[in-house]
Structure 1
Amino acid sequence: MTVPTTIDPKDIQAHLAQFQGDSYREGWASLWDKGEGLPWDRGFPNPALEDALVQRRATIGGAIGQDAQGQSYRRKALVPGCGRGVDVLLLASFGFDAYGLEYSTTAIEACKNEEAENHSWYRVRDQKIGQGKVTFVQGDFFNDAWLQQIGVPLNAFDIIYDYTFFCALEPSLRPKWALRHTQLLAPSPAGNLICLEFPRQKDPKAAGPPYAAPSETYVEHLSHPGENIPYNDQGIIKQDPLRAPSKGGLERVAYWQPERTHENGLDENGKIEDRVSIWRLRN
């Protein structure tokens, strides 16, 4: 197993502070180009995703779908900011045609190396279904060029998985992040955005990335995609219980504490702080 050399989070934060707004992607790409790894890269898929695909199959659905004509097809899964592609390969092992998106060409090469190592946790889960196709693509999440490159239209992904992408973006980009999911996710009920919420308990005023990501931030941004959501002086999102969700937003259809997660999702007493939420486009 090839695990990148990790660097101190404070060094990452100082580096990325030079890349504000949309230029964040160049900041992340330059970290990859320097051959420096991310301290929250555990080297293998988060078991919370594996458990969700098994235990929540009734909600998420399996890898094989049927179109209006009754023809079977493999459902598509996307992992934006996929790192070394471990979650992409896990999704493919369950039979989904899985796409991993990274802005860095160096990261794409790391993904291909991870695929070539063929670890046991990427074993085919159901021989009758088989393994889905794996595609790693270089591009900007907020731009359509990478979709054209792989020949996938808008609103075509049945699963989008977000673990350390949301928390890696500076908060000013969160409205844009939420809006983009309304453009990529398949219509309800086929399309499911799976968010592994991390880090939920971090001090909102502490520097990032990763930026503090309590559950309320997912609720407010995904319920009102593209809208400017206010935060108070403490960095805590302002929730208005009387504010109705946007008609074009997403709704949370499942939310739970996973039985397993990476060690960085545990508190000092070993208690799981992460949560998993599933979202769909509102009809």
Structure 2
Amino acid sequence: MATNVDIKDVQAHLAQYQGDRYVDGWAALWDKGGNLPWDKGFPNPALEDVLVQQKGTLGGPIAQDAQGQSYRRKALVPGCGRGVDVLLLASFGYDAYGLEYSAAAVEACRKEEAEEHSWDRVRDQTVGRGKVTFVQGDFFDDAWLQKIGVELNGFDLIYDYTFFCALNPALRPKWALRHTQLLAPSPSGNLICLEFPRHKDPQAPGPPYSSSSSAYMEHLSHPGEEIPYDNGLVKHEPLRGPSKAGLERVAYFQPERTHQIGQGENGVIHDRVSIWRRRN
């Protein structure tokens, strides 16, 4: 029988895997089995609300090509865990792709797909359900793209909730740069970030690492560039304009609902949603 894993044990385990070896640390956790502490068993309701309320910004799951032919837009969830967000996106009509480095995680995703859930019902019968694809690979290389037959800059929607905060902050420049390589041109391509944990002590150990809105802003505005930190917080010196290669934040707001872990006392919501596009 699977046992729960304490977050402090996770942090101690991952501390043994430095730099690019972080992926092996996550894979080893999946290989051990167990109920991982970040797994809530269902999507964050903030994502569901964004897909409903921000359709005007996101554009919806169906688009038309230059010849007027309709097609399903592609959505990606890197570090998708058990794939619940992937299944939610497919229920809205996107062809949804979940990426995990661990073979055990991909297998867990496929088992989750076989289950029945109330939250992944088809939202619009005229649109229908999109295709679900789970793929094993490293976010930072292209081999997994070749497996699924998707080109660079081929994703119309990317969703990041517990991926940014799971990475050692030293990898954040690569994280931001990679999104510019995967996201479709503006206005078709939208990156949704559910910013978490914004309220954590920036000097406390991770994962999850404290992830302020200013950290998302600095890294996504300057992809691939080293961003200075001081005691876990982004240093704002000197002030500078965004890189031409950077992403532009087109929406930013407090969600009406989120997982309990993103709330403080009396249900105060600390999480924020930001939506980003490539600059024209």
Amino acid at match of 1:64: I
Amino acid at match of 1:170: N
Write the mapping of 1:1-283 to structure 2, written as runs, cut at 5 A.
5-232=3-230, 234-240=231-237, 242-283=239-280
CA shift for structure 1 position 249: 0.5
**TM-score, scaled relative to structure 2:** 0.98
| Cα distance per residue 1:19-38 (max 9 Å; x no partner) | 00110000000000000332
Give the 3-state SS of the residue equivalent to 2:133 in structure 1. Answer: strand
State the alpha-carbon separation in 2 of the partners of residues 11 and 222 from structure 1. 31
Give the 3-state SS of the residue equivalent to 1:278 in structure 2. Answer: strand
Deviates more, 1:32-41 or 1:88-97: 32-41
State the alpha-carbon separation in 1 of the partners of residues 193 and 206 from structure 2. 19
Conservation of the 8 A alpha-carbon contact between 1:204 and 1:212: yes
- Aligned identity (percent) is 76
Unaligned runs of 5+ in 2: none
CA shift for structure 1 position 126: 0.5
Conservation of the 8 A alpha-carbon contact between 1:220 and 1:239: no
State the alpha-carbon separation in 1 of the partners of residues 3 and 188 from structure 2. 39
Conservation of the 8 A alpha-carbon contact between 1:189 and 1:280: yes
Q: Structure 1 residues 239 and 4, CA, compared in 2 at 3 Å: closer, same or farther?
A: farther
Amino acid at match of 2:66: A
Conservation of the 8 A alpha-carbon contact between 1:251 and 1:281: yes
State the alpha-carbon separation in 2 of the partners of residues 169 and 278 from structure 1. 20
Q: Any runs of at least 4 consecutive aligned residues in structure 1 with deviations exceeding 6 A, and if so which?
A: none
Give the 3-state SS of the residue equivalent to 1:122 in structure 2. Answer: coil
Give the 3-state SS of the residue equivalent to 2:234 in structure 1. Answer: coil
The alignment yields a C-alpha RMSD, in angstroms, of 1.1
Unaligned runs of 5+ in 1: none
CA shift for structure 1 position 241: 6.5
Give the 3-state SS of the residue equivalent to 1:52 in structure 2. Answer: helix
State the alpha-carbon separation in 1 of the partners of residues 29 and 178 from structure 2. 25
| Cα distance per residue 1:17-63 (max 9 Å; x no partner) | 00001100000000000003321211100000000000000001111
CA shift for structure 1 position 4: 6.4
Amino acid at match of 1:245: P
CA shift for structure 1 position 216: 0.5
Give the 3-state SS of the residue equivalent to 2:128 in structure 1. Answer: coil
Give the 3-state SS of the residue equivalent to 1:59 in structure 2. Answer: helix
State the alpha-carbon separation in 2 of the partners of residues 60 and 246 from structure 1. 23
Amino acid at match of 1:268: E
State the alpha-carbon separation in 1 of the partners of residues 72 and 257 from structure 2. 28
State the alpha-carbon separation in 1 of the partners of residues 35 and 245 from structure 2. 37
Give the 3-state SS of the residue equivalent to 1:77 in structure 2. Answer: strand
How many residues matched? 280
State the alpha-carbon separation in 2 of the partners of residues 113 and 240 from structure 1. 48
